Amino acid sequence: MVCVQPASLADAETIHQLVTFWADKGDMLHRPLGEVFESIRDFKVAREGGTVMGCAALHILGADIAEVRSLAVREDAQRGGVGAALVASCVEEARALGIERVFALTYRPGFFEKQGFRVADVMEFPQKVWSECVRCPFFTNCKEVAVVMDLARA
């Protein structure tokens, strides 16, 4: 049974290792360990028997919008519902905070569509594009797909 809970500082290195594993494969962007520590309060981890099976972060960008980022699940736990549980936990937290829209930038939009997101134009999220994406080395050749869930309508 997978249990999703807020990450602790003790989880930071494991989160970094998970993100790095998938980033090295080209499936997500790298996050420096220092950034993981700085944003540890955004992170959730999925544990099974005390072992971290995956992670995700809910990063608030404004009063009405947040991003699901750094969603990473151990390779041996793929297709077991870990990612879905992490996304559901992020969405639940966003709803509790009164956030109207949750989005993600992903190489796997189909996964997010199964969770109730829809494909969107990244320019729907200028807060993200002009504060973070513009600093990304892939900014002019980004292959990530924007997805969004409108919580105000759900």
Sheet containing 118-120: order of strands:
3-6, 43-48, 51-62, 65-73, 101-106, 145-150, 118-120
What are residue 60's DSSP bridge partners? 66
Nearest to 149 by CA among 132, 111, 3: 111
CB atoms within 10 A of CB 11: 20
Q: For residues 9-24, give the mean pLDDT.
A: 95
CATH topology classification for 3-150:
Aminopeptidase (3.40.630)
Using the predicted structure, report yes or no on whether residue 21 has a pLDDT greater than 90.
yes
Residue type, 81: G
pLDDT for the residue numbered 140? 56
- Domain segments of the chain as ranges: 3-150
Token digits of residue 78: 């793929």
pLDDT for the residue numbered 30? 84
pLDDT tens for each residue of 56-69: 999 998 889 999 99
Using the predicted structure, report yes or no on whether residue 135 has a pLDDT greater than 60.
no
**Per-residue DSSP letter, 111:** H
φ, ψ (nearest 5 deg) of residue 147? -130, 150
Question: Between these two residues, 137 and 42, which has the higher pLDDT value?
Answer: 42
**CA atoms of 16 and 31, how far apart (whole Å):** 7
Using the predicted structure, report yes or no on whether residue 84 has a pLDDT greater than 50.
yes
Least confident of 11-15, 54-58, 79-83: 79-83
- CB-based contacts of 124, cutoff 8 Å, min separation 6: 103, 146, 148
pLDDT tens for each residue of 92-129: 999 999 999 999 988 889 999 999 999 998 777 756 54
Residue-averaged pLDDT of the chain:
87
